[in-house]
């Protein structure tokens, strides 16, 4: 089954600092949410039903206990922070209607990252309305890429909360149109991505490869390709898949440009793209492209 992009996980050191950064970038940030396993988030939702999840540690002792008990989500988050620091981009999450089937498929393909996880948490809307949201997750990973993991997310109970106010952003962002990873030999991770996305077709080009999900595109570029597209001066990291960039779709590039100018955000334009480099509270390159 072809999956849709659901959300992206970006570890942050401090949730308040991350909220300030996202707000300065022109995003509308949802109220703080707490997980029962010791992490917390403040998500940014888009009109295409995707979102970005800045993730922070809320209760360290709880996180450590959950990781020891086999909670894959927390264990991978802690491993990422140990290797890469407290800020970054750790996981791509695909939507699913059957996480249990995904778990079986990942195990059969040899890419399962561990046991499934089912949990519930409170969802709080801007007007104060609160309901319980429940999820079931199935995890996938590749030992050659210790700084990246994937999971599918089945929304078991979806709160009947109007998110329209949270999906309107001063920078004009409407969607996550593309997610960008970097690896010197992108096709080494072709089969992993095909199994996670449920996509057999791969578009190869001189700088890497693209795989289309049901609502977005996952690109894996060489370091040279990433520099050519986005002007990055970040040093090559060696081997292993790493998530580096998020491309947001906008109606007009003048909208994010105006928001950045108002709020003192540094950016650069490369062709038909606006690029904002990573900063405290923003662990990835943010790219804005006209849809």
Least confident of 188-202, 235-249, 250-264: 235-249
By DSSP bridging, strand 285-290 and strand 242-250 are: parallel
Does residue 247 register a pLDDT over 90?
A: yes
* DSSP secondary structure letter of residue 240: S
Greatest pairwise CA separation for the chain in angstroms? 51
* DSSP secondary structure letter of residue 3: P
Q: Among residues of the chain, what percentage have pLDDT more than 90?
A: 89
Does residue 3 register a pLDDT over 90?
A: yes
226-238, pLDDT tens digit by residue? Answer: 999 999 877 667 8
* Structure tokens, 267: 């950016």
Q: Do residues 244 and 275 make contact, with C-beta atoms less than 8 angstroms apart?
A: no
Per-residue confidence (pLDDT) for residue 127, from 0 to 100 = 66
**Phi, psi of 259, rounded to the nearest 5 degrees:** -65, -40
Candidates 27, 291, 269; CA nearest to 171 is 27
Predicted TM-score (pTM) of the model is 0.95
In the chain, list all ranges with CATH 3.10.180.10: 4-157, 175-290
What is the rounded distance in angstroms from the CA atom of residue 276 to the CA atom of residue 285?
6
Higher pLDDT, residue 1 or 213: 213
Taking phi first (over 0 means left), then psi (-120 to 50 degrees means alpha), and beta for anything else, what does residue 234 get? beta
Candidates 212, 240, 209, 198; CA nearest to 97 is 198
User: Please, which residues have CB within 8 angstroms of residue 223's CB and are 6 or more apart in sequence?
Assistant: 182, 184, 236, 237
Q: Is 3.40.50.2000 the CATH number for 4-157?
A: no
Least confident of 100-109, 182-191, 228-237, 248-257: 228-237
Domain covering 175-290: architecture:
Roll (3.10)
What is the rounded distance in angstroms from the CA atom of residue 241 to the CA atom of residue 90?
10
- Residue carrying the six token digits 């086999």: 70
Which pairs count as long-range contacts for 212-216, CB under 8 Å and 24+ apart, including other chains? 213/2, 213/3, 213/4, 213/5, 213/94, 214/2, 214/3, 214/4, 214/5, 215/4, 215/5, 215/48, 215/49, 215/50, 215/175, 216/4, 216/5, 216/48, 216/50, 216/175, 216/176, 216/177, 216/178, 216/179
**Residue range 158-182: mean pLDDT, rounded:** 92
Per-residue confidence (pLDDT) for residue 125, from 0 to 100 = 66
Q: Do residues 281 and 22 make contact, with C-beta atoms less than 8 angstroms apart?
A: yes
Q: Do residues 46 and 167 make contact, with C-beta atoms less than 8 angstroms apart?
A: yes
């Amino acid at each position: 089954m072809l999956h849709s992009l659901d959300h992206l996980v970006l570890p942050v050191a401090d949730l308040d600092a991350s909220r300030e950064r996202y707000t300065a970038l022109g995003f509308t940030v949802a109220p703080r949410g707490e997980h029962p396993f010791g992490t917390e988030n403040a998500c940014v939702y888009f009109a295409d039903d995707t979102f970005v999840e800045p993730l922070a540690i809320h209760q360290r002792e709880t996180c450590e206990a959950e990781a020891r008990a086999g909670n894959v989500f927390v264990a991978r988050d802690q491993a990422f922070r140990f290797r890469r620091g407290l800020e970054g981009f750790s996981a791509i999450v695909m939507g699913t209607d059957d996480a249990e089937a995904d778990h079986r498929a990942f195990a059969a393909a040899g890419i399962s990252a561990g046991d499934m996880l089912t949990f519930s948490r409170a969802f709080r809307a801007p007007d104060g309305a609160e309901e319980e949201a429940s999820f079931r997750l199935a995890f996938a990973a590749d030992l050659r890429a210790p700084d990246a993991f994937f999971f599918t997310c089945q929304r078991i109970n979806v709160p009947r909360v109007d998110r329209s106010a949270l999906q309107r952003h001063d920078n004009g962002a409407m969607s996550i149109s593309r997610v960008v990873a970097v690896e010197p030999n992108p096709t080494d991770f072709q089969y992993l991505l095909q199994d996670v996305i449920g996509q057999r077709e791969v578009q190869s080009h001189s700088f890497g490869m693209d795989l289309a999900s049901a609502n977005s595109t996952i690109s894996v570029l060489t370091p040279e390709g990433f520099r050519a597209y986005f002007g990055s001066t970040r040093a090559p990291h060696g081997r292993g898949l790493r998530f580096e960039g998020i491309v947001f779709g906008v109606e007009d590039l003048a909208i994010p440009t105006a928001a950045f100018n108002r709020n003192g955000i540094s950016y650069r334009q490369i062709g038909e793209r606006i690029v904002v480099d990573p900063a405290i509270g923003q662990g990835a390159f943010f790219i804005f492209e006209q849809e």
